[in-house]
Structure 1
Amino acid sequence: MPEGDTVLQTARRLHTALAGQILTHSDLRVPRLATVDLTGREVLDVTPRGKHLLTRIEGGLTLHSHLRMDGAWRVFAAGERWRGGPDHQIRAVLGNRAHTAVGYRLPVLDLLRTSDEEKVVGHLGPDLLGPDWDPGTALRNLLSDPDRPLGEALLDQRNLAGIGNVFKCELCFMARATPWLPVGELPATTARLLVSTAKQLLEANRDRPTRTTTGRTPAADTPRTGARIPTRVRPQEHLYVYGRERRSCLRCGTPIRKAVDADRPTYWCPHCQAGPTP
């Protein structure tokens, strides 16, 4: 499932290609929207909200999409061959004279009044990459059910919006707690630090082509911020635990373990992280 940083980058690409331009092509390939024609309307902006994408269109309309597990929006130059999957996986096409945005495998695609956007995103907690970010509210939300496993609480977008499975695993490692530890058992200082760390991680990765939580990333992937370029590293060292089953923990050397729950993998270090395990 895409994380908040990935959704933000997708929104930027869509906004750059579509905003301020008149649609010359519109094709929404879901039954309830099959007769909708948006051609002739201007795209006003594309805004991310947590993991949701809101494409606002002239006339008070918003095209709402969510990528879920494997959805994607691809942007192509006019005349460029589309690449992203077979045609039967295409759910939306929005084009202007210069660019075409193609939505593949979109499990959520709705057209609603812009004034009704709260109906689809109003349940979300503070957005880690949004203007509504509020660490105090996020912390209270996270701790509202003390018996809930930490990993579940982090993934619940009603608590704080933007964390997916990768950041869930990495944040639990950094908190030295297993994802199955009841969130109420976290020390108060650890819980507060967890929220601020989540914000820092997503902010640090909002401009990176390769996500990193360890600070070890290929030099070519380092944003041009004037910061010192880190040393090139071997593959699989840009994350602490995610995707590193059987590899040595970067902190203690213990082999990383993996569990699968509802088709979602969870990775953790049995030495560095305290708490219950499957």
Structure 2
Amino acid sequence: MPEGDTVWYAAHRLDAALAGRVLTRADLRVPRFATADLTGRRVLGVTPRGKHLPARAEGGLTLHSHLRMDGAWRVYSAGERPHGGPARPSGHLRIRAVLGNAEFTAYGYRLPVLELLRTADESQVVGHLGPDLLGPDRDPAEAVRRLTADPARPLGEALLDQRNLAGIGNVYTSEPAFLAAVAPWLRVAALGPGVPERLVATAHRLLEADKDRPDRPTTTTRQKRERLYVYGREGRPCPRCGTPVCKAESADRVTYWCPDCRRGGQGARAER
């Protein structure tokens, strides 16, 4: 599932192509909004909120999308053929939204959430979110307060809860937990002093470093297979101690950790 950095990257590409320009083409390919006409409206901006993508237009309207597992937005120059266009009809069917102006056209692929609502009603879809680690509302103290509000909750579950911190997914759960040397299933109450603060700060640092690029490294190595500490590295040696990395799956959650590096509530210092 795309995480906060991926959504931020997509939103800013959309904002650069659409904001301040009048829509000359707007096609929403979902039954509920198929007849909605946004042409002639100026796009005011696309500002990410956690994993959500609200695009605001004149007249008090917001086009809200969420990428979930497979969604994506792609931007092309006006007149450029999109991937999955006429040459690949089956790909064309995956396009759920088209927003175009005189210079650019944005195509939304496989968007599982696409809805048009009043801007005044945006809180109905994003009002439940906690502090956005990449947003202007970033509030580390509030994020820590929410993260630790339920002491009996497993750490990984608390980190993934968007009501606590908006923008964190499986990658930014496993990697900060590894860097803090704590197990993802550890109860929040068992975290040592300063560990919640360090987890929030590390998650923000990694997201901030990766938001302007399409890939997602958390290490400094240039080797592609070593760009992440533990995520996606099941069975491969831990970069800290050499122990094979473990993996656990539950529904849409995937967690990776080193069985020897975790130290209960005691965090070990590890630099990026």
Equivalent in 245, 261, 267 of residue 272 of structure 1: 261
Aligned to 2:22: 22
Task: Assess if the C-alpha contact under 8 Å between 2:75 and 2:107 holds in 1.
Answer: yes
Equivalent in 166, 189, 200 of residue 161 of structure 1: 166
Question: 2: CA distance between counterparts of 1:49 and 1:234?
Answer: 32
Q: How does 1:159-198 map to 2 (within 5 A)?
A: 159-198=164-203
Between stretches 84-93 and 146-155, larger displacement belongs to 84-93
Aligned to 2:91: 86
Deviations 1:95-114 (A, max 9, x none): 11111101011111111111
Moved over 3 A (4+): none
Aligned to 1:152: 157
Amino acid at match of 2:151: P
Runs of 5+ unmatched residues, structure 1: 217-232
Between stretches 262-271 and 69-78, larger displacement belongs to 262-271
| Superposition TM-score, scaled by structure 1 size | 0.90
Over the matched positions of the two proteins, sequence identity in percent amounts to 67
Q: In structure 1, the residue corresponding to 2:8 is in which secondary structure? A: helix
Task: Assess if the C-alpha contact under 8 Å between 1:157 and 1:163 holds in 2.
Answer: yes
Matched, 1:240 2:245: no
Cα deviation for residue 209 of structure 1 reads: 3.3
Cα deviation for residue 244 of structure 1 reads: 0.7
Runs of 5+ unmatched residues, structure 2: 85-89, 265-272
Q: In structure 2, the residue corresponding to 1:48 is in which secondary structure? A: coil
Question: 2: CA distance between counterparts of 1:208 and 1:178?
Answer: 29
Aligned to 1:50: 50
Question: 1: CA distance between counterparts of 2:58 and 2:163?
Answer: 30
Aligned to 1:221: none
Amino acid at match of 2:223: R
Aligned to 1:208: 213
Task: Assess if the C-alpha contact under 8 Å between 2:235 and 2:246 holds in 1.
Answer: yes
Deviations 1:34-83 (A, max 9, x none): 11011111111101011111100011100011111111001111121211
Task: Assess if the C-alpha contact under 8 Å between 1:236 and 1:243 holds in 2.
Answer: no
Cα deviation for residue 183 of structure 1 reads: 1.3
Q: In structure 2, the residue corresponding to 1:103 is in which secondary structure? A: strand
Equivalent residues, number: 260
Amino acid at match of 2:143: A
